[in-house]
Amino acid sequence: MRLDIDTLKVKVPRCVKTKDESIAILFAFIRRIILEYDLGGEWVDMYGSDIRKILDRMDDNIHDYLMEYVDSSECKIVQLSREHYVFKLKNWRRHVNAVPITKHKNITRWAYLMGCTNYNLLEKDGLNLDDKKRPHYTGMFRYDRDLFIFGKDDLYE
């Protein structure tokens, strides 16, 4: 089932070259983290397991998949380990496209990500490592992860 709403649109950096809702949600969320924590020009950390849940894909090298859909001159994705990725975006503030989100499962996922907007996924750095006090990314709690049902998403359709 598709919801007919025209008000839910996410702002996705223009370097993302797809209308795939899951990819749009991921990059809109990363953009939101950058805005929330004033991280322009900084690397943003994410766990691979959370990225795979947002995208509903089980790929080990998820960055290779994502790089097919971004302009590499404006978006860098580095896999530090199987479970640790970092993203760096250029022109993320004004150069955006509004991507409509219509699938119920993606609306639910976006609502979850905005509901916690970093409050349980990001926490301020307690160590004085630099002046920026870069936040540390923490994985989704089990209860939160259960919202992201893998593979059996026909429940949402």
CB 62 within 8 A of CB 68: no
Q: Which of 39-43, 57-61, 129-133, 140-144 has the highest mean pLDDT?
A: 39-43
Number of H helices, E strands in the chain: 5, 7
Domains of the chain, by residue range, sit at 9-148
Return the exposure string of 83-113: e unless at least 16 CB atoms fall within 10 Å of the residue's CB, then b. eebbbbbbebeeebbebebebebbbebbeeb
In sign, the C-alpha dihedral spanning 101, 96, 11, 113 is positive
pLDDT at 128: 43
Higher pLDDT, 126 or 34: 34
Q: Which of 89-93, 131-135, 141-145 has the highest mean pLDDT?
A: 89-93
Look at the block and give the residue holding tokens 């916690």: 116
Residue 77 pLDDT class (50, 70, 90 cuts): very high
CA pair distance 130, 123, nearest whole angstrom: 15
Residue 118 pLDDT class (50, 70, 90 cuts): very low
CA pair distance 78, 88, nearest whole angstrom: 9
CA pair distance 57, 62, nearest whole angstrom: 8
CA pair distance 94, 104, nearest whole angstrom: 28
CA pair distance 54, 50, nearest whole angstrom: 6
Residue 57 pLDDT class (50, 70, 90 cuts): confident
Residue 33 pLDDT class (50, 70, 90 cuts): confident
